[in-house]
Amino acid sequence: MCQRCLPLWGQGVDVSEVRGEFACVAEAFGQPTLSLLNQKQAPVIVAILNSCFTREMRLVPTARLHVQVESMLAEMATSGATDDLRAGTGREVCQRWTKARWLIRRTDMVSM
């Protein structure tokens, strides 16, 4: 049983173990990370995000990210890896990824 469900266990809540697990797993699949991994183009998206963000570079200025994403998508397109990925500029793609909560826009970047 997941940690979130443990407080319910033994508190008079009638939840079978498998139903409790299902509730936790269903909630997890609603999270952005698992929704990303469920995408057909997840390998391309993850590769691009991993290339843009590293342990050393956890924050990237918006304009730079748009240029990087657009450039990487163009490079990946030559191999056919992005055939199923909706087209658009780097900005448009980043906006879609932000809407899907795969990217978080930070306005409090102190230093770069």
Kindly report, residue by residue over 13-26, the tens digit of the pLDDT.
555 788 888 888 88
Burial of 88 (0-12, 13-18, 19+ CB in 10 A): middle
Query: Cα(69)–Cα(75) distance, rounded to whole angstroms?
Result: 10
Residue-level pLDDT at 95: 95
15 contacts: CB under 8 Å, gap ≥ 6: 5, 8, 9, 23
- Evaluate if pTM is beyond 0.85: no
Place of tokens 């191999």: 79
Kindly report, residue by residue over 37-83, the tens digit of the pLDDT.
888 888 999 999 999 998 898 899 999 999 999 999 999 888 887 77
What are the Cα distances from residue 11, in Å, to 5, 24, 83?
A: 11, 17, 51
